[in-house]
Amino acid sequence: MMEIYPSGPLRGTLQVASDKSISHRAVIFGSLATGTTRIQNLLEGEDVLCTIAILRELGVSIEKKGSAWVVKGCRGIFQAPSKILYCGYSGTTLRLLTGLLSGQSFTSLLTGDPSLNRRPMGRVIEPLTQMGASIHEEHRGEKRIVVVEGRKLKKGMFQIPVASAQLKTALLLAGLASSEPVSVREPFKSRDHTERMLKAFGARIQVKRVQVNLKPGGKLKGQKVRVPADFSSAAFFLVAALINPDPRTKIVLKSVGVNPTRTGALEVLKKMGARIQIVNRRTICGEPVADLVARPSKLKGTTISGALIPRLIDEIPILSVAAALAHGKTVIKDAAELRVKETDRIRSIVTELSKFGVSVKERPDGLEINGVSGKQ
């Protein structure tokens, strides 16, 4: 059990953990490239390490040398794995590598932790199947195995039913692996780390609003990549500063990724009245980066829905905390995606906020939270 006691002001400058989405993509695209990719500030969490372990099993040399991870690209020519590929808890690893392996010349078996094995794969398998991929699921006791029989894939335009960076990236990776032109269209724009990094690596990629066009012929070349701090992790410290009642509170977060497809939560918090400054803006490896400064604020309720949702889906739990301490009602809708994470996050948020006496109502696709008017 952990006991937490109120204290005085929160003050300090820190750099939160590196961005997980960019870390996954850096090692994958480095593997597909010609030459060497050096990655600074790679997130060395379990999910990214699972991706690295699988790429090593596929014959890629990935080693840590000093402060950098060095990936020796194999130009997308992988070796057939000798064992089942274990994805741990990582939905990103499973979905992205399912796409990557769909266009190979061998069969791969992927599995994960029981919690990952319960998460749906149908919406990834269906569009990849439309590309000509052969993918099916097998159940061996309590273990789910995703069987990917690599083959030559078809070119075409593929419409995905939800705004999902993982699904979009899986299709683009399949297109890269099979050297076929691929266009992916989604209902709203999801995070675009894949598009930015592919362009930096030399892919022939074109983005038109919610459609991404990938043409064959662009040779990926190894790059120097510096991974920024993760905005999703930064959001917890931002909210901690905003809801702290001590006026001396001030938190500075250094080198945070502020990609506009990821910072919907920043827009929502500012709309709620948050005092957050964005300073020292710059671009690193194609990604916008800045320092964030947060101070105590009087927050008010708001509505979060529609095209905003893909840009803040991972921040909804901490936004719910901010909403609970705001003045008035906050309504979150169009967020049914939260129910198919590693847990049903909508239900979990309702359960935990209720324990603190917050008036919160569960909706099929979101929440209604009645703030306690700043009575921290």
Handedness of CA 191, 196, 199, 200 (dihedral sign): negative
pLDDT of 327 above 80: yes
* All residues at 6 or more sequence positions from 359 whose CB lies less than 8 Å from its CB, including other chains: 369, 370
Mean pLDDT of the chain: 95
Half-sphere exposure (CA, 13 Å, Cβ side) for 264? 22
Angle subtended at Cα 163 by Cα 370 and Cα 16, rounded to the nearest 5 degrees: 65
Give the integer Cα–Cα distance in Å for 276 and 296: 9
Catalytic residue among 47, 314, 344, 365: 314
Other CB atoms closer than 10 Å to residue 225's CB: what's the count? 28
In the block, residue with structure tokens 């938190």: 251
pLDDT level of residue 373 (50, 70, 90 thresholds): low
Sorted by where each starts, the structural domains of the chain and their CATH numbers stand as 11-16+228-370 (3.65.10.10), 20-226 (3.65.10.10)
Higher pLDDT, 40 or 180: 40
Query: What is the signed CA dihedral for 58, 60, 61, 64, rounded to 10 degrees?
Result: -90
The rounded distance, in Å, linking the Cα atoms of 371 and 273 is 14
Question: Other C-beta atoms within 10 Å of 68: how many?
Answer: 17
pLDDT digits (tens, 9 = 90+) for 255-264: 999 999 999 9
Rounded Cα distance between 68 and 65, Å, is 5
Q: Is 291 a catalytic residue?
A: no
Question: Tokens in use for 240?
Answer: 């901690």
Does residue 11 register a pLDDT over 60?
yes
How confident is the model over 142-198, as pLDDT tens digits?
Answer: 889 999 999 999 888 999 988 999 999 999 999 987 777 899 999 999 999 999 999
What is the structure's pLDDT at 374? Answer: 46
Mean pLDDT within 369-375: 77
Sheet-wide strand order for 36-40: 61-65, 68-72, 36-40, 224-226
Place of tokens 């930096």: 200
* pLDDT, tens only, 219-238: 899 999 999 999 999 999 99
Q: 134-140 and 85-86 as β-strands: parallel, antiparallel, unpaired?
A: unpaired
